[in-house]
Amino acid sequence: MTALGLALTALVSLGCQAAGGADRSTYDAPAAASAPAAASAPAAAPAPAAAPAAPAAPAATEPPPWLGTRPLPLRPDGFGEVRPTPRALDPREFTLPDTVRPLPGRGFQARVRRAPAAVLARSTWQPGCPVAAADLAWVRLSFWGFDDRRHTGELLVARSVAGDLVSVFRSLYRQRFPMERLRITPLAELDAAPTGDGNDTGAFVCRPTTGQSSGFSQHAYGLAIDLDPFQNPYLKASPYGDVVLPELASTYLDRGDQRPGMVTPAVVAAFARIGWEWGGDWRSLKDYQHFSQNGR
């Protein structure tokens, strides 16, 4: 795998106003050097008042210590055994550590650039994937957590749709739609035993379509998003019993019991504005977490 190009040359600032402050997206570019400002004597000022303590995160956002550590038995079809949702995950409103540094500023912020080699190295991209490394964008953006605080996450997406997806996540931020974590899927997770409790919002994953051994998923092109998978599970009938992914998320199949993190009509509309379709509208199966450019 070769090192990728420089950041996109255009610097775009979208100055919309959102809850919590300025709303901005930028495409990173080398900054021009500027002359240092003339030094001036600092004026005397009174000692600043102590900053108020940050409010404690709600207790409901504390994940159980076993999260992600208990592999499930496998079924004959290769999926994990579907089990009732544990009480600790019903409802699920956790806050997990961000995977990238916070973006500066207030309100919604986004940064888009060509995916650096170091970022690709911790993703599922390999030679033979159906999208070239140079055609992937690294997107960092703000989102609301279940703790009602501003967080920063990252996605790998096709460069051709990066701007559109920033507009979608800006809309989700304005809606205060909560997400647990935005994270790039590492290669090791493709072959990891299922624990049935994953919940990372993500985009690019170089893998086949779910339930098939050949044919790439739209995720492998960076043209699909899975949003809060646990609150928005996948459901398909099977000779071995229903396939539910994540396997412990059955409580969220009741779409009439609306809980935080479940896809709403406003979320579907935000994706529809860029021409993307929702897997919750499919007939042969339901993929409530899935949004894609071509509807597959």
64, pLDDT greater than 50: yes
pLDDT of residue 208: 80
209 band by pLDDT with thresholds 50, 70 and 90 = confident
pLDDT of residue 46: 47
pLDDT of residue 28: 53
Structure tokens at 172: 């989700």
212, pLDDT greater than 80: no
18, pLDDT greater than 80: no
Of the listed ranges 18-32, 64-78, 236-250, 259-273, the least confidently predicted one is 18-32
Task: Using the Cα atoms of residue 282, residue 283, residue 286 and residue 288 in order, give the sign of their dihedral.
Answer: positive
Where do we find the tokens 């059955």?
250
95 band by pLDDT with thresholds 50, 70 and 90 = confident
43, pLDDT greater than 70: no
29 band by pLDDT with thresholds 50, 70 and 90 = very low
The pairing of beta strand 290-292 with beta strand 224-226: antiparallel
Cβ atoms of 146 and 95 within 8 Å: the answer is yes
Cβ atoms of 184 and 202 within 8 Å: the answer is yes
55, pLDDT greater than 60: no
Where do we find the tokens 């409530």?
288
The whole-model pTM stands at 0.81
Q: How many helices (H) and strands (E) does the chain have?
A: 3, 11
**What average pLDDT does the chain have?**
85
The pairing of beta strand 109-114 with beta strand 21-27: parallel
Task: Report the b/e string of 80-109 with b at 16+ CB within 10 A.
Answer: bebeebbeebebbbbbbebbbeebeeebbb
pLDDT of residue 111: 98
159 band by pLDDT with thresholds 50, 70 and 90 = very high
Total residue count of the chain as it appears in this document: 296
The residue-averaged pLDDT of 57-80 equals 86
59 band by pLDDT with thresholds 50, 70 and 90 = very low
The percentage of residues in the chain with a pLDDT greater than 90, rounded to a whole number, is: 75
57 band by pLDDT with thresholds 50, 70 and 90 = very low
The residue-averaged pLDDT of 236-252 equals 97
Residues 6+ apart with CB under 8 A from 278: 263, 268, 271, 272, 288, 290, 291
15, pLDDT greater than 70: no
211 band by pLDDT with thresholds 50, 70 and 90 = low
The residue-averaged pLDDT of 116-140 equals 98
The residue-averaged pLDDT of 93-121 equals 96
The percentage of residues in the chain with a pLDDT greater than 70, rounded to a whole number, is: 78
